[in-house]
Amino acid sequence: MIKADRAALILKRLDELYPETPIPLDHHDPYTLLVAVLLSAQCTDVRVNQVTPALFDLADRPETMAQVEVDDIRAIIRPCGLSPRKSAAISELSRIIRDQHGGQVPQTFEELEALPGVGHKTASVVMSQAFGVPAFPVDTHIHRLAQRWKLSKGRNVKQTEKDLKSLFPRQSWNRLHLQIIFYGREYCSARGCDGTVCGLCREMFPQRKRGIVVNKA
């Protein structure tokens, strides 16, 4: 099975498994999504969703969050890890959005990635899920599966993103990146599959006998 055939099969199977792709981070607008994605760095979505209700009860708009003491933000988000850095970033990006963007989350990659604590992956999630701009955010699940499925040899998420964008139709990106994450968590996890166990791995590589060693992001 050549790479293009594998890509077509992946699209078909993941559409069958996940016809709906709800965003796993609870939010109600682009700003709360931005904050939730920032908090999800090195933290599970479940934990973020446990923390954000109290945070958003305190402030759910950049104008109000900018007025909250950083220590108060930090006290709430501490369970997410990296709380000193994340709380400072939330406070500062809220101030910038209030003062430089009229209280609205900017809608370009350049402006988003200029915000404190916002890297390309976070910007990609916000652009795709809040604004509907085609993007392919690559997290550890996607990076791992792209290698197991021989879609990319990328040694970093930047190269993996480039390879996946070249393989899959642009109109599929926003849905597909979530579908791959869902599949990676449910069937092809780091411990649950080594490239020889889950349904898709077996279907695409029936002759594969050895597990795949993945280059970490």
pLDDT of residue 153: 87
pLDDT of residue 215: 78
Residue 198 CB-half CA count within 13 A: 21
Sequence spans of domains, the chain: 3-20+136-204, 30-129
- CATH topology for 30-129? Endonuclease III; domain 1 (1.10.340)
pLDDT of residue 213: 81
Alpha-carbon distance 217 to 172, whole Å?
23
- CATH topology for 3-20+136-204? Endonuclease Iii, domain 2 (1.10.1670)
Alpha-carbon distance 145 to 43, whole Å?
19
Place 140 in a pLDDT band, splitting at 50, 70 and 90: confident
Alpha-carbon distance 77 to 41, whole Å?
12
| Stretch 84-107: mean pLDDT | 98
Q: Is the pTM of this model over 0.85?
A: yes
Place 4 in a pLDDT band, splitting at 50, 70 and 90: very high
pLDDT tens-place string over residues 178-217:
999 999 999 999 889 999 999 999 999 999 988 888 877 6
Helix (H, G, I), strand (E, B) or coil at 53: helix
Return the active site residues. 121, 139
pLDDT tens-place string over residues 39-92:
999 999 999 999 999 999 999 999 999 999 999 999 999 999 999 999 999 999
Neighbouring residues of 77: CB distance < 8 A, sequence distance ≥ 6: 39, 51, 55, 83, 86, 87, 90
Tokens of 65: 């969050």
pLDDT of residue 212: 84
Whether residue 121 has pLDDT greater than 90: yes
| Stretch 100-107: mean pLDDT | 98
pLDDT tens-place string over residues 141-161:
899 999 999 999 878 899 999
